[in-house]
Structure 1
Amino acid sequence: MTHAQGVPVILGIDHIGLATDDPGGLAPFLTLLGMNPTDSGPAAAYGVNCDFWQSPGACVEVVSPAAGESAVGKYLKSRGPGLYHLAFEVDDLAADLAVLRAGGFVALDDQPVAGARDGMTVAFLYLRKPAGLLVELVQYATAHHRKAGAADVPH
């Protein structure tokens, strides 16, 4: 895909991030919503642990602090648990990061870093006004990261 007129190429919403210091306490409610745990792992660059929950058509990442001084830990102290970020899958992370920075987003990462899933590279951006929006751009090492039979379902 190409970047026409300075517009990022968004392949879809990869996941919605929820911040909590009690991921185990959230599990029964995600299960009640029909979601199943799919994978988990640390995002060492951010000092967090991540648990991914999947249902047809939706993916939630439960983000919890692995270190007290992580950005998520600070977020939880000031705002409490809840919606943390929106993650968009892209096919050219470096190019899309540059486009969004030029458009007014503040890059929180100097360079993309390894995400919590195998083959996942991410970068975070923030738009203070008008929405206070934290955006994660996600790129996978392979074009076929989605589960078989789920072509339109975020992984």
Structure 2
Amino acid sequence: MILGIDHVGVVTEDAAAVGAFLDALGMTRTEDGTAPDYGVSCDFWQFSPAAAEPAVEVVAPIAPDAAVHDYLGNNGPGLYHVAFEVDDLEGELSRLRRNGFIPIDREPCRGARPGMRVAFLYLPKPAAFLVELVHYPTRRRG
């Protein structure tokens, strides 16, 4: 089951500059990490450190083969994905595949937060929508 929005991902090659703008909006960087399977760094920004509050994730490439390089080259920086926390990652992957979403990941990968497992799916029509499913060992919301 989908429990709620975990974060909205913004992709950039200049995480510090995006962070300055989020700071000006009154947000605080509450967590940071890397997602080695994707070759990216991830900074999580929130208005409060409450785990259940959705975050803005600033995603930046840190490896030459980072998963976001093609996206940045074709589209430039900006809104990248919406991430939903789920209570059953494999179950939701199967359900969304049956509903027309195309899996990007063969299997769930490590995310940037401790214990986080993630998987990306894409819905080309009607919205060209990239979705990240997120699962934690202990629920953050719901």
The verdict on a shared fold, with TM-score over 0.5 as the criterion, is yes
Structure 2 counterparts to residues 1-155 of structure 1, below 5 A = 9-56=1-48, 57-143=53-139, 146=140
Distance 2:99 2:64 in 1: 33
Secondary structure of the residue aligned to 1:45 is coil
Distance 2:37 2:65 in 1: 12
Deviation, structure 1 residue 69: 2.5
Distance 2:107 2:26 in 1: 36
CA contact (8 A) 1:120 1:139 kept: yes
Identity within the alignment, % = 56
Deviation, structure 1 residue 34: 1.2
Deviation, structure 1 residue 68: 2.8
The code of the aligned residue for 2:39 comes to G
Deviation, structure 1 residue 44: 0.6
Distance 2:129 2:64 in 1: 23
The code of the aligned residue for 1:14 comes to D
Distance 1:138 1:16 in 2: 12
The code of the aligned residue for 2:114 comes to D
Distance 2:102 2:47 in 1: 32
CA contact (8 A) 1:67 1:73 kept: no
Secondary structure of the residue aligned to 1:18 is strand
Residue 5 of structure 1: aligned partner: none
Deviation, structure 1 residue 119: 1.2
> Root-mean-square deviation (CA), in Å?
1.3
Gaps of 5+ in 1: 1-8
Deviations 1:86-106 (A, max 9, x none): 000000000000000111101
Distance 1:140 1:69 in 2: 26
- Moved >6 Å (runs of 4+): none
Gaps of 5+ in 2: none
TM-score in terms of structure 2 length: 0.92
The code of the aligned residue for 1:132 comes to A
TM-score in terms of structure 1 length: 0.85
